Homo-oligomer: A and B are copies of this chain.
């Protein structure tokens, strides 16, 4: 479905005005995109008032409530029926002309809402959060699950692999994606009770399963999909983020220490600017929640207007792929 509308939950993120500004930029820069936006209509109109926006391609659904990061996820979905998130999920569920939703709100509430409001895809009992690791080959490696699900059973992990592999193929255009299982060694028998059972299921599946992998090669780009329990996937994702920041900071400090003259740091700055782009986890847009009836793009809570534009492009790609 090439021309589906994209729904944006404009509230619940750290900076709602940034989301609204991003909506204006997306309408201006992304050809033919049609957006449905949920949130406080008064505030949305205020922020848009000084902008030139094609109102033919923008629909605003006024919502009285907001789910915040302090809300308990399930409670927020059950009690705040008029939140921008809940109304967004209902709209995504009920309207055929809406293909995908974007939210930068409470991650737990988005996941809970995907099950309680949108509903699970058939044959699945746990939606998975897929993220993208910027790898050494200049591409992105899919990691599923990156934190939505802990205490997973082997059949959940198999599903995560299936969803991520399908996404890699259909949306990212990877032919026959290589799927690996995160473990403590590359040998077939290395792992814990759940990973050893999962290994067998993946081996028997139709996926292009290449075996166990260690966290030290997560950024190598040797595989397209990394399957992990959400606890381990979260540890992997966050340690990559933290280590990248720590190491970059240490190198910069050392370069400053060893630089002998003022001009020395000019090219260093250029190199670090480019590094930050390479390591930007948000440059692909957001994480993707797969396994509910329609896909949801989960942007970072601190999303700015550029993030909104990136996620809109990502959502269009997903809709066009027929995922």
B251 near A275 with CB under 8 A, answer yes
Residue from the set A240, A242, A274 with the largest chain B CB neighbour count within 10 Å? A242
A267 near B270 with CB under 8 A, answer no
Query: Is A188 at the interface (CB under 8 A from chain B)?
Result: no
Known: A184-B150, A254-B275. A234 touches B247 (CB 8 A): no
A136 near B272 with CB under 8 A, answer no
User: Taking CB as reference atom, which chain B residue is nearest A221?
Assistant: B246
B193 near A151 with CB under 8 A, answer yes
Residues 230 to 283 of chain A near chain B (Cβ within 8 Å): 230-232, 234-251, 254-255, 257-260, 264, 267-268, 270-272, 274-275, 278-279
A197 CB, min distance to chain B CBs, angstroms:
12
Grouping DSSP codes into helix (H, G, I), strand (E, B) and loop, the A interface class, with mixed when no group exceeds half, is helix
Question: What CA separation (Å) do A271 and B217 show in the bound complex?
Answer: 25
A138 CB, min distance to chain B CBs, angstroms:
10
User: Taking CB as reference atom, which chain B residue is nearest A147?
Assistant: B184
Tell me which of B240, B249, B254 contacts A136 (CB under 8 A).
B249
Q: Mark A184-198, 1 if CB is under 8 A from B, else 0.
A: 100000011101000
Query: Is A45 at the interface (CB under 8 A from chain B)?
Result: no
B264 near A246 with CB under 8 A, answer no
* Chain A interface residues (CB < 8 Å from chain B): 136, 147, 150-151, 182-184, 191-193, 195, 214-220, 229-232, 234-251, 254-255, 257-260, 264, 267-268, 270-272, 274-275, 278-279
16 residue pairs bridging A and B, Cβ less than 8 Å apart: A214-B242, A215-B234, A215-B242, A216-B239, A218-B239, A219-B242, A235-B235, A235-B239, A239-B239, A239-B243, A247-B279, A250-B279, A251-B272, A255-B267, A258-B268, A258-B270
